[in-house]
Amino acid sequence: MTELVFLKGKQALTSSLIVAEKFEKNHQHVMRAIRDLSGEMDVSNFGQMFHKVTYSDTYGRPQPMYLMNRDGVALLGMGFTGAKAMQFKLDFIKAFNQMEQILLQRQNAQWQEIRSATKDGYKELSAAVKELYEFAKAHGCNVSERVFYMNFAKLMNKTLGIAPGTRDDLATWQLYEVEKLQFIARTIIAGLIAGGADYHLPYKNCKAAFEAYARLSYINERLLLARGLSD
């Protein structure tokens, strides 16, 4: 649901393009409805809800659109009627609620502390993967360093059921799991390099270890519960 709403700074916003697509309307008609609102409202109130920007169309040409907050969508949506429109409004409310929960979460000291720890863990894991890459290269491997790291990153994301680039959106418990998997991966990589093992083994062993850890820590059950609560 969060694809309807995005974070910009410390605000949860959507755009006139997203609204047009979701409500199955022509973007120009949505733009006109917003302009009509601007003529009926105080300038300062309108400016708090809507902000005009540009985007590049498929030909690379700059085109106007509006960014809007929750109040802007609610005001604009008053003019959209029908059963489908009501469901679309509810979808936007849910998406804004989810994004605002993420914003509140980021203000929590415990969340900030564990997020900082996962960033440090990312650097340490990157260093370990680089060492593995150098080890593999010395033993005739031609795969790039980026591929080595992406393999471990994808494995970690798959284990945790998260999408790439979403660490800032994770709950505190998920960040704790990220930190633990980073530690497991670093430990396995370092141990196998020190023992001069086949450079294919760290990935295979990490995969097995991640699967075992996911079962023991009930990650899968917690993910299902979280999804059930948000659906």
Which structure tokens are listed for 163? Answer: 């999408």
Give the residue, 66 or 149, on which the prediction is more confident: 66
pLDDT at 212 over 50: yes
Question: Given a cut of 50, is residue 229 above it in pLDDT?
Answer: no
pLDDT at position 64 is 96
CB atoms within 10 A of CB 54: 10
- Return the SS3 of 9: coil
Give the model confidence (pLDDT) of 97-106 as tens digits.
888 887 877 7
Percent over 90 (pLDDT), the chain: 51
pLDDT at 223: 53
pLDDT score of 2? 45
The confidence band for 20, taking pLDDT boundaries of 50, 70 and 90, is very high
Rounded to whole angstroms, how far apart are CA atoms 210 and 76?
Answer: 47
Predicted pLDDT at 203: 92
Mean pLDDT of the 176-195 span: 92
Averaged pLDDT for residues 46-64:
93
Task: Please give the span between the terminal C-alpha atoms of the chain, in angstroms, as a whole number.
Answer: 9
91 burial type by CB count under 10 A (0-12 exposed, 13-18 middle, 19+ buried): middle
Q: What are the pLDDT digits (tens) for 109-146?
A: 888 899 999 999 999 999 999 999 999 999 888 888 88
Give the mean pLDDT of 139-165. Answer: 88
pTM for the structure as a whole: 0.59
Q: What is the mean pLDDT of residues 170-191?
A: 91
Average pLDDT over all residues of the chain: 87
pLDDT of res. 231:
42
The model's confidence at residue 24, banded by pLDDT at 50, 70 and 90, is very high
CA 218 to chain centre: 22
* Enclosing H/E stretch for 160: helix 145-160
The least confident of 24-33, 102-111, 147-156 is: 102-111
Q: How many CB atoms lie within 10 A of CB 38?
A: 16
Angstrom distance (rounded) from CA 10 to CA 66: 18
* pLDDT surpassing 90 at residue 179: yes
pLDDT at 119: 95
pLDDT, average across residues 141-165: 89
Residue 1's pLDDT band, with cuts at 50, 70 and 90, is very low
